[in-house]
């Protein structure tokens, strides 16, 4: 601390107060907010990917279990396998989070897999032996838990991006965004089909 004392001793009292004020202003004006929120959004995205990967890892076991009881459902089994391959091929790394089109492709591939998976689980209704198979029941339970984790991970990512994007677009964050060349990040959207009310038939 002697070096700090010597610096302030050699500076005029008015200038020392000005330097201290500038330092405090810089520390409290959000200079670290943009990178901090950016890293939080990237971490939240990693968790989204982690949960989608967890789901993808469960699917081969589920397909094999269903295949053992419902070999005639080849179309459904093939659809799930192909949708899984497409979904795992579409990756969005943290540097692509500012590209809404990249996130849209990722979302579309995951939605296709969700639809195929739903059809596969619906098939099980036609096979009482399959529905009571312990392996199938355990996999189904794990998938349900994973879908819940995906929902939570997506929500956390949306919140992290909302906080980051708000800071990037408002003052003083907008100034720091220019300094860091920070761009707004893309977030999840819902498809038109999901926005329409379901058709109920009796």
Residues 71-96, mean pLDDT to the nearest whole number: 95
Which listed CATH number (3.50.50.60, 1.20.1440.20, 3.30.300.30, 3.90.1150.10) goes with 34-189?
1.20.1440.20
What are the structural domain ranges in the chain?
34-189
Residue 83 zone, left/alpha/beta (φ > 0; ψ -120 to 50; rest): alpha
Are the beta carbons of 120 and 60 closer than 8 angstroms? Answer: no
CA dist., res. 51 & res. 118, Å (int): 17
Angle between helices 33-69 and 134-169 (to 10 degrees): 160
Burial track 11-25 (b if 16+ CB lie within 10 A, e otherwise): eeeeeeeeeeeeeee
Residue 66 CA to its chain's centroid (Å): 30
* 89-144 pLDDT per residue, tens: 999 999 999 999 999 999 999 999 999 999 999 998 999 999 999 999 999 999 99
Residues 173-195, mean pLDDT to the nearest whole number: 83
Task: To the nearest 10°, report the CA torsion of 64, 66, 67, 68.
Answer: 90
Q: Residue 63 pLDDT > 90, yes or no?
A: yes
CA dist., res. 183 & res. 79, Å (int): 37
Helix/strand/coil (H/E/C) assignment for every residue in 182-201: CCCCCCCCCCHHHHCCCCCC
pTM: 0.80
Q: Which residue has the higher pLDDT, 28 or 164?
A: 164
The per-residue pLDDT for 25 is: 54
How many Cβ atoms sit within 10 Å of the Cβ of residue 76?
Answer: 19
* 23-45 pLDDT per residue, tens: 545 545 678 999 999 999 999 99
């Amino acid at each position: 601390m002697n070096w700090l004392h010597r610096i302030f001793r050699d500076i005029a009292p008015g200038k020392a107060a000005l330097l201290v004020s500038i330092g405090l202003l810089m520390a409290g004006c959000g200079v670290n907010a943009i990178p901090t929120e950016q890293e939080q959004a990237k971490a939240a995205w990693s968790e989204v990917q982690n949960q989608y990967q967890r789901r993808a890892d469960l699917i081969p076991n589920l397909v094999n279990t269903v295949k053992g009881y419902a070999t005639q459902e080849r179309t459904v089994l093939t659809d799930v396998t192909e949708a899984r391959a497409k979904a795992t091929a579409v990756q969005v790394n943290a540097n692509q989070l500012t590209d809404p089109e990249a996130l849209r492709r990722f979302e579309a591939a995951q939605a296709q897999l969700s639809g195929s998976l739903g059809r596969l689980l619906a098939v099980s209704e036609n096979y009482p032996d399959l529905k009571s198979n312990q392996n199938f029941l355990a996999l189904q339970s794990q998938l349900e838990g994973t879908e819940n984790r995906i929902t939570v991970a997506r929500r956390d990512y949306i919140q992290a991006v909302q906080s980051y994007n708000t800071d990037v677009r408002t003052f003083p964050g907008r100034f720091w965004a220019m300094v860091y060349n920070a761009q707004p990040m893309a977030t999840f959207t819902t498809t038109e089909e999901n926005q329409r009310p379901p058709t109920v038939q009796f």
